[in-house]
Structure 1
Amino acid sequence: MPKGPTKRRPQTRAALLSAALEVFAELGFQSATIEQICDRAGYTRGAFYSNFSSKEELFLALFDAHSDAVLTRLRERIDGLGKDGLTLDDLAELVSRIDPSERDWYLVTTEFTLHAIRDPQAAWLLARHDARLRAELTGAVTAFLAAAGRELTVDAEQVSRLLIALREGGLAQSYVEPDQLPPGQLERDFVGPLLAALSRPTTG
């Protein structure tokens, strides 16, 4: 039977991740300190270093957790539509739903991306996690198109890159001008036509 510290480890890790998201969003990745994250979570530096080796590793754990949550919600929404009569507009509507909490994550991930652009090692690490997200998104989009009776005519991973760029670029504009461009509006307007132009009906 696991000992107490081993049993508590998932709770400690979860608390540190939650605190880190709050502190990073408030202060920025560069300005936030490990001490501030530990204070917010109610743990010691020892607890931090038993779970993460650095702020970068902590961010990447947040990145993976966020990616998994977004993809899980997308798959659940797609499954909720059933398999009959799916349209590209259905997918556009699904991906246009932006949770209000996404703003904090956008602040955090944008700053870390700038950090990675300046730091080759951080860029290499972030690229590996980005690749995992793209692979999962590629599979989800390809499966949806197949269920809708369509197939891509261009490289599927490049389509995933384009969809991510649309989302991130749209959110950047939305958070600056929310009255002019509500979050998710670009996806709602253009994902359907975009995928229609990059796919064709399946044959046979």
Structure 2
Amino acid sequence: MTENRWISELHWRRAGQQSRSERTQSALLDAAEALIFEKGTEATSIADIAAKAGFSVGAVYHHFKDKKALFLALFDRMTDAYEALNAKASDPEIWRGATVLDLFRGYMEITLNAAREDPAAKAAVSAVVADYPELAAHYAEIQGNSRRALLKLVLARREEIGVADAEEAAAFAIDQISAMLRSCIDPAQRPAALQPIDDETFMRNALRMIAACLDLQPAG
């Protein structure tokens, strides 16, 4: 994927400088991610996690009360990273001079890059959410926040939107793109009649749909 200039500094990254204890916790969480990705939450045991990370079972329990606590920490690590990314991506200064189509392309690239950069982490957190439904509301809230931030940025450029109800049309377009992205990222959510396409083709087609839906006018 060719990255555009608007999102050059927007990436989901692991924490940098860490203490010894934090490095141990990170290694355990990394091992848990890989194992959950490979065989699911139910089949992933504390002993498996310890062995894969190269630590004793006692070391796991030193950092985490039980398997559920470890899985919750895994969820927190991922959602903290996404919330930080969303906060950066919501800054209007980053998008100074961007058009509505630039915003939508940036939103799609950020979403696709985050999913592609660490599929094991994404799959592991999805599995944890499925097993612990109480986490689903927070996960949905984070996703909703990113869509609301995009809507705010788009409506700041409402002069580009040709339809009468700019807010309704923009919210509809964002909801549709979000649903399409889920299908693009997760084959299990893709309707059987649809063929997989590469990210560039997906975004090109999606941007044409957005331009038509919003009746976009030339900026300026």
Paired position in structure 1 for 2:182: 168
Cα distance in 2 between the residues matched to 1:189 and 1:60: 38
Match of 2:43, SS? coil
What residue in structure 1 maps to residue 55 of structure 2? 43
Shift in alpha-carbon separation, 1:61–1:67, aligned structure 2, 3 A: same
Aligned residue type for 1:48: V
Match of 1:140 in 2: 149
Q: How many residues align?
A: 185
C-alpha distance in 1, partners of 2:189/2:38? Answer: 16
Distance 2:214 2:76 in 1: 28
SS of residue in 1 equivalent to 2:36 = helix
* Unmatched tracts of structure 1, length 5 or more: 1-6, 117-121
Residue 167 of structure 2 corresponds to residue 152 of structure 1: yes
Q: Work out the CA distance in 2 between the residues paired with 1:189 and 1:74.
A: 24
Whether the 8 Å CA contact 1:92–1:187 is kept in 2: the answer is no
Contact 2:95 2:103 in 1 (8 A): no
Structure 2 gaps of 5+ residues are 1-18
Q: State the identity as a percent.
A: 23
Aligned to 2:73: 61
> TM-score, structure 2 length as denominator?
0.61
1:128 and 1:198 mapped to 2: Cα distance? Answer: 30
Aligned partner of 1:83 in structure 2 is 96
> For 1:90-105, what aligned pairs fall within 5 Å after superposition?
90-97=102-109, 98-99=112-113, 100-105=116-121
- CA pair 138-10 structure 1, distance change in 2 beyond 3 A: same
Q: Tell me the equivalent position of 1:16.
A: 28
C-alpha distance in structure 1 between counterparts of 2:35 and 2:23, whole Å: 18
Indicate conservation of the 8 Å contact 1:92/1:192, yes or no: no
Query: Is the 1:17–1:62 contact (alpha carbons within 8 Å) kept by the matching residues of 2?
Result: yes
> Following the alignment from structure 1 to structure 2, what is the Cα–Cα distance between the partners of residues 198 and 75?
26
* Contact 1:17–1:58 (CA under 8 A) maintained in structure 2: yes
